[in-house]
Amino acid sequence: MVNLADYIYDHGKDILAALGEDVAVSGAINGFVYGTPAQKESASRSGIVMRKDIVEGCGIDVNAIHTLTDLGAVYAKVKARYPDIDCFAGTNFMYQIETHDSLLDDFGVLLDGGRTTTVSNWYESEEFRYKARLIRDYYKAGYVKLDAATTTETAQSMVRAGTLFSYLNPIKPGFLIQANAECGREMVTAYIGTEYRSNDSNNLYTSSVNFFNWGIAASSKDPVKAMQFLNWCYKSPEFNNLINFGIEGEHYVFVPGSKRVIDFPPGINAANFKYHLNMGWLFPNQFIGHIWNGLPEDIWDQYKRFNDSAHKSAAFGFMYDSSSVQTILAGLSSIQSEYINAIATGSIEDVDRAIEELNQKLYNAGLQQVINLKQSQLNAWLASGKK
């Protein structure tokens, strides 16, 4: 890849303006900017997503749900009234509430939403143990899908099929419109946290911003022209609309009375369209593009406010260079895969013993070396004033 740091300040001024400099160059390792992030809702605020009909049928007070622990009383009501429905499924109980900065791979993290600069082991933290014990309690109570550790079904498909009550998910502006469509039912949400991080925490991490990045190949014959083209992509509504929705009149039309909201032309729908990516979060700058019918007309402004309101990790903009520990990371990932699904779904009987075994194996495989490497590089990054 071409180092965009050599070109972005002279030929990428519209990228810097659209994203802000701190976000635009946050995908850098040792000063080498590999790519610029797609403009999307990048902040993370977690919520529990529940079937509205069951919530109302059980008399559940959504406003009283604030932590994972609060779900125990909710699931008890649901199970009593709907014994054949699983209350929860999947491994996201452990991960969908992002209360720590993973520093890309979870092997050495910053706890407390990145409000600390001390790199520590997530898997031996009190919060990890708290979550593991709690989901084990829920599993024993019959609230968790029995094959949650191995199922390949999505939570949304299970809700649609009528076999699941709830799932955890990052909540963003306009989320319920998406959730209702995916689940085929009316859903309700409540922001949720843990005893270690409140439900009003909206966090921003380097990894969440640099989820989809646009760069220039090392084989580019003219990096300057490539940078100029990429810059144009970030400022051109025409480009973003064309690649995302297609050609006006053929693939989409404006909703009557609006010059921002679009829909399928007459006779075209989700079953017979010829072109309709609707993946704005992947492209350079969806915030200057059209809005698909059903979303609020000010959705891009809502997304921007959502991002701007987030607490940035102390390591925002930092990416560690893992090239010297790739073999170790491969071993750590293998060990993690061996344990994490069973722990995170509550399906392992002795959860404390499993956590001890997991950590012992991780340390034996070189976890401390990765933690030390991250800490050393983070300290140097902070000292350089790039924070």
Give the domain CATH number at 85: 3.40.190.10
Please state, rounded to an integer, the average pLDDT across all residues of the chain. Answer: 92
Domain identity same for 53 and 32:
no
**Pair (107, 170) in one structural domain:** yes
pLDDT 10s digits, 354-376: 999 999 999 999 999 999 999 99
Say if residue 199's pLDDT is above 60.
no
Quote the pLDDT of residue 373. Answer: 98
Position 200 scores a pLDDT of 59
- Is the per-residue pLDDT at 205 higher than 60? yes
Is the domain of 288 the same as that of 334?
Answer: no
**Tokens coding 348:** 């392992």
- What local confidence, expressed as pLDDT, does residue 43 receive? 82
Whose structure tokens read 């609020």? 296
**C-beta separation of 201 from 246 below 8 A:** no
- 186 shares its domain with 228: no
pLDDT bin (cut points 50, 70, 90) of residue 340 is very high
For residues 140 and 101, membership in a common domain is answered with: yes
Domain region containing 100: 45-201+321-387
Strand blocks (E) in 45-157:
46-51
pLDDT for residue 311 is more than 70: yes
Q: Among 312, 329, 350, where does a domain finish?
A: 312
Q: What does the pLDDT read at residue 167?
A: 93
Q: Are residues 59 and 158 in the same domain?
A: yes
> What percent of the chain has pLDDT above 70?
98
Q: Looking at the structure, do residues 125 and 247 belong to the same domain, yes or no?
A: no
Is the same domain home to 167 and 293? no
Residue 257: C-alpha distances to residues 167, 245, 286, 290 (Å): 37, 19, 21, 14
The whole-angstrom separation of Cα 23 and Cα 301 is 17
252 and 112 within one domain: no
Domain end position, chosen among 289, 312, 335:
312
Indicate if 340 and 289 belong to the same structural domain.
no
Place of tokens 């002279």: 10
Provide the pLDDT for residue 197: 65
In this prediction, residue 198 carries a pLDDT of 55
**What pLDDT is recorded for position 211?**
81
Q: Is residue 191 located within the same domain as residue 232?
A: no
Bridge partners of 144?
A: 88
Count of residues making up the chain: 387
Q: How many domains does the chain have?
A: 2
pLDDT one-digit tens code per residue, 214-233: 999 999 999 999 999 999 99
∠ CA(177), CA(180), CA(184), 5° rounding? 150
| Boundary (domain end) residue, out of 283, 312, 341 | 312
Is residue 189 pLDDT above 70, yes or no? yes
| 3-state SS track over 273-312 | CCCCCCCHHHCCEHHHCCEEECECCCHHHHHHHHHHCCEE
Do 165 and 58 reside in the same domain of the chain? yes
Where is 187: in which H helix or E strand? strand 187-191
